[in-house]
Amino acid sequence: MTITPSRIFEVHEAQDGRKRRLYTLNAVPGTAVYGEMLIPTPRGEFREWNAGKSKLASYILKGAQGIGMRKGSSVLYLGCATGTTVSHVSDIIGEEGMVFAVDISPIVMRDMLFLAEKRGNIIPILENAFHVDRLAKRISAADVLFQDVAQRNQVEIFLRNADLFLKDRGYGLLAVKARSIDVAAKPRDIFKAVRKQLEAKMTIIDYRELDPFQKDHCMFMVKK
Amino acid sequence: MGATYLLEHIAGCFLFDEHLALVESGPPEGKEKEAFLKTHASAVPLSYPARAIQLRRALAAIASKIPKGGLRAANLARTRHDVKHAVSDDFLIVQAVKSIEDLDKVLNSLAIRLRDWYEFYLPEYSVSQPDHAEFVRGVVETTKEQFLSGKKTDSFGADLGKPHIAAMKQFAERLLGLYAAKQELERYVDSTMKTICPNLRAVAGSTLGAKLLEHAGTLKRLVELPSSTVQILGAEKALFRHLKTGSRPPKYGVLLAHDAVQSAPKGRQGRAARILADKISIAVRIDYFKGQFKGDALLEEARKKIAQ
């Protein structure tokens, strides 16, 4: 199994039988964040990126052309939870980049704090992502907006934040959880409705459903 | 001269000209900040949503200007502070209730394990004592001879040597410790409920009230729930099955355990749960806003209405 650069900046991949695996270069060698595999190589230590636990990884495995992030990017990450995906974003953007990791729950923020103390490019914020007026006092504009919040008004939250914090021509990634918007409706119908809402304000450049990694989820990539 | 704009930010105070270019920055806090704000009192504060357009441009303007280290340190300190002060009593109650539920599960399987084990030695005792806690106590406190005295027939359990029996007894003693731990937790939940939500405790009882808190997550969220939701908290599986497949909706969740619902005639229990949920909603709102104690009266009202 050889690890080679993938078409996504700073993301590496390997073919393991029929399974494709993703890796990022560990910014804190020797430390795993959520029990993932660490693979030391002469090029540095690779950290496996588990698609079952990360919607961004699922999106890449489903054939994404790009995720808008590269070395030095600033990322606004809404719904960071315990920091599983944020840790890989932190690997991708490197020391010069920064990621604002926002979550509303003080319980998951504990793990996030421990992670942020180890990684100098993570800025943890305990705040409701809907309250952009409060966020505005704590962050600056960002190159990329990533959102994964299980809220009924997730699209509205995304649009508000994109409007205020996303730089012109910046990229937005929205992970839509159909079950949070309506448990009874068909996910496809919800995705269609979300597409309409997004199209009114921004340009959609990619859309992928995330099964079999994540059930009833899809990812929209938009450009401001 | 055009207007100037001011942004109060965690990394400092920032002053912008009419084109939203950064002209001056001040300190994030302290007396110096106040002095800075005073000198620029005429500047328009950048607020949301009133000044959204200007605010967006200002945030883009400072993106490359704020030193990352300072921004991170300030946010890290603030978030540490926020997490520290986010802990409230209802979080603690929820954890205690979850611990009790986990203990219940663990105790159940451990007691069954002890039964299987002890039945090699004295099967008759295990069969005669269906209550797990009492059975475990018996294993510790009574001997085979004591149990068999006065019985007509002898046991068909094996005669085991002392070390084998001692091992069972020791295991049983540990289980008794866990039963005691559970009781202590229940007392703790009761006394905490008494201080933070006395009305809920009076209407629903402390265990049931704590379970409602657990399902809602926090006291605030329980307060915000409509009582039709309170009525079916704990019946999420049935509720979502109803929403998805159109099966019959649940009538009650954890509230079924309440004696006012239990004692209602079958077929009227859903009605009882609905009336009780009404009063519980009122009770938690009184608790949340620190009103006067009215719990007993509320429960009395509920009982009367149910009996009608």
Residue B285 confidence class, pLDDT cut points 50, 70, 90 = very high
Q: Which of residues 24-63 of A touch B (CB under 8 A)?
A: none
Q: Where are the domains of chain A?
A: 4-52, 57-223
pLDDT at B73: 95
Please name the member of B66, B83, B240 whose beta carbon is closest to the beta carbon of A109: B83
Nearest alpha-carbon partner for B11 in B29, B23, B24 = B29
SS3 A103: strand
Task: Decide if pLDDT at B1 tops 70.
Answer: no
A contacts of B71 (beta carbons < 8 Å): 98, 123, 140
Q: Which fold would CATH assign to domain A4-52?
A: Phosphorylase Kinase; domain 1 (3.30.200)
Q: Which of residues 212-241 of B touch A (CB under 8 A)?
A: 240
Q: Over range B284-305, report the average pLDDT.
A: 95
Task: Decide if pLDDT at B55 tops 70.
Answer: yes
- Cα–Cα distance between A109 and A34 in angstroms, integer? 15
Please name the member of A120, A125, A132 whose beta carbon is closest to the beta carbon of B75: A125
Cβ of B243 under 8 Å from any chain A Cβ?
yes
A contacts of B75 (beta carbons < 8 Å): 100, 123-125, 138-139
Check B56 against A110: CB less than 8 A apart: no
Tell me, rounded to whole angstroms, the distance of Cα A90 from its chain centroid: 10
B contacts of A124 (beta carbons < 8 Å): 75-76, 79
pLDDT above 90 covers what percent of chain A? Answer: 97
Residue B303 confidence class, pLDDT cut points 50, 70, 90 = very high
Nearest alpha-carbon partner for B23 in B10, B34, B36 = B36
Question: What average pLDDT does the structure give for chain A?
Answer: 95
A220, A174 in Cβ contact below 8 A?
yes
SS3 B82: helix
Return the percent helix, strand and coil in chain B, to nearest 5.
65, 5, 25
Residue A45, amino acid? E
The DSSP 8-state label assigned to residue B251 in this structure reads S
Please name the member of B7, B72, B240 whose beta carbon is closest to the beta carbon of A123: B72
Q: What is the pTM of this model?
A: 0.89
Check A164 against B59: CB less than 8 A apart: yes
**Lowest-pLDDT range, A11-20, B34-43, B190-199?**
B34-43
**Best of B55, B68, B237 to disrupt the A interface by mutation (most A CBs within 10 Å)?**
B68
Q: Residue B86: is it exposed, middle or buried by C-beta count within 10 angstroms (0-12/13-18/19+)?
A: middle
pLDDT above 70 covers what percent of chain A? Answer: 100
**Closest chain B residue to the Cα of A137, Cα to Cα:** B9
Question: Which strands sit side by side in the sheet containing A4-5, from one edge to the other?
Answer: A4-5, A12-16, A19-25, A44-49, A38-41
Alpha-carbon distances of A125 from A91, A100, B77, B136, B257, rounded to whole Å: 19, 7, 10, 50, 40
Residues linked to residue B12 through DSSP beta bridges, in sequence order: B9
Q: How many Cβ atoms from other residues are within 10 Å of residue A169's Cβ?
A: 8
pLDDT at A160: 95
Q: Residue A83: is it exposed, middle or buried by C-beta count within 10 angstroms (0-12/13-18/19+)?
A: buried
- Bigger pLDDT: B49 vs B178: B178
pLDDT at B153: 82
pLDDT at A154: 94
pLDDT at A161: 96
Check A141 against B56: CB less than 8 A apart: yes
Q: Which fold would CATH assign to domain A57-223?
A: Rossmann fold (3.40.50)
Nearest alpha-carbon partner for A47 in A57, A61, A59 = A57
- Cα–Cα distance between B283 and B274 in angstroms, integer? 14
Cβ of A170 under 8 Å from any chain B Cβ?
no
d(CA A91, nearest CA chain B) in Å: 17
d(CA B252, nearest CA chain A) in Å: 20
pLDDT at B64: 86
Check B48 against A133: CB less than 8 A apart: yes
B238-274 residue pLDDT tens: 999 999 899 999 999 999 999 999 999 999 999 999 9
Please name the member of B7, B63, B80 whose beta carbon is closest to the beta carbon of A113: B80
Residue B65 confidence class, pLDDT cut points 50, 70, 90 = confident
B189-235 residue pLDDT tens: 999 999 999 999 999 999 999 999 999 999 999 999 999 999 999 99
A143-162 residue pLDDT tens: 999 999 999 999 999 999 99
- Cα–Cα distance between B8 and B28 in angstroms, integer? 8
A contacts of B70 (beta carbons < 8 Å): none
Check B52 against A74: CB less than 8 A apart: no
The DSSP 8-state label assigned to residue B11 in this structure reads T
**Closest chain A residue to the Cα of B65, Cα to Cα:** A140
Cβ of B22 under 8 Å from any chain A Cβ?
no
Q: Sign of dihedral through CA atoms B74, B76, B82, B85?
A: negative
Check A140 against B72: CB less than 8 A apart: no
Residue A57, amino acid? A
